Structure 1
Amino acid sequence: MTTENKTTENKTIVGRALAELLTTGGVDALEPLLSDGFVHHRPDSTSSTKAEWLAAVRKALVPLAGMQVEVVHLLSEGDHVVMHSRRRLPAAGPEIAVVDIWRIEDGLIAEGWEIIEPTAQAAANLVWWEPAEG
């Protein structure tokens, strides 16, 4: 398989996982797309197993029902796929920007990293290195 074909295949796997999650509103269709050793990493350096992450996603789906997802960028290189999206809750709920990084192994999602930022707080985060006033 060429590198270009692998890149396209990996992007398709991630796209299918997102579509399954949003279309079905449940994690049952998502589970077979994850490897048994799947690990999800968070910015606070904590990680969760496949079962723990699926349980967290299942719990979050109720308050997130009807969420709109706009994929802004879907990039792939080697075994990694990066998805930048904007997500909005229904009824004029808050908007967030999300960057997901997925590692694909043997046709399954093996690892995931996620950064979430409420867009309303983006300006404050542009100067995170400056000392707080006070």
Structure 2
Amino acid sequence: MDEQVAHIVGFDVHHPGATDDPCPRLFGRLWHQEAKMTVPTSREVLEGFLSTLQAHGARRAFEQYAVEDYVQHNPKAGRGREGAIAYLEEEAAKGGRATVKRIISDGAMVALHLHMEFTDGSPDLAIVDIWRVEEGKLAEHWDVAQEITKTSISEAF
């Protein structure tokens, strides 16, 4: 968790007794307070999102971990949170398993590298998802996917 400081300003009002005066005088004091808040790191946000996605599905994960004006750059998914939810629900219907290979974070950016295996006969995919995190929520997403072939001149995935 990252620590941030919030500045809170208030005014305490005191009205000394009831009166028929239409413009009674108000007394009070202005105050200022600093409060330390913990904000999850981009990695912690992504890990929470993935955990909720696995346990409760795309809709709950996006409602809990993504901003309302979420930006989706995947050309196969529709716009915003609703487009991402529909796309992930469609992909989940194919059946399969995602294995996280690594998570890399740098400030507000976090990347996920995973191996996706489908049970419907679709080819396995190596996927890299990249998110921008804003105030503890997923705000923007990009991804690339590569088919994992059965034969390769490089080492196996």
What is the TM-score with the length of structure 1 in the denominator?
0.72
Give runs of ≥4 in structure 1 deviating > 6 Å.
Answer: none
What residue is the counterpart of 1:97 in the other structure? 126
Counterparts of 1:34 and 1:17, CA distance in 2: 9
Say which of 13, 33, 48 aligns to 1:16: 48
- The question of whether the paired residues in 1 share the 8 Å contact of 2:77 and 2:84 is answered with no
Secondary structure of 2:79's match?
Answer: strand
Counterparts of 1:62 and 1:46, CA distance in 2: 15
Counterparts of 1:122 and 1:115, CA distance in 2: 21
Counterparts of 1:109 and 1:9, CA distance in 2: 11
What residue is the counterpart of 1:56 in the other structure? 87
Q: Which runs of 5+ in 1 are unaligned?
A: 125-134
What is the TM-score with the length of structure 2 in the denominator?
0.63
Does residue 138 of structure 2 align to residue 109 of structure 1?
yes
- The question of whether the paired residues in 2 share the 8 Å contact of 1:10 and 1:104 is answered with yes
Q: Which runs of 5+ in 2 are unaligned?
A: 4-37
1:1-134 equivalent positions in 2, closer than 5 A: 1=2, 9-24=41-56, 26-31=57-62, 32-42=64-74, 48-64=79-95, 67-90=96-119, 94-120=123-149
What is the CA-CA distance between 1:38 and the residue it aligns to? Answer: 0.4
Alignment RMSD, CA only?
Answer: 3.1
- The question of whether the paired residues in 1 share the 8 Å contact of 2:105 and 2:111 is answered with yes
- The question of whether the paired residues in 1 share the 8 Å contact of 2:128 and 2:143 is answered with yes
Structure with greater helix percent: 1
Counterparts of 2:129 and 2:81, CA distance in 1: 16
Secondary structure of 1:29's match?
Answer: helix
1:90 to 1:37, Cα distance in 2 relative to 1, 3 A: same
Fraction of identical pairs, as percent = 20
Structure with greater strand percent: 2
Secondary structure of 2:59's match?
Answer: coil
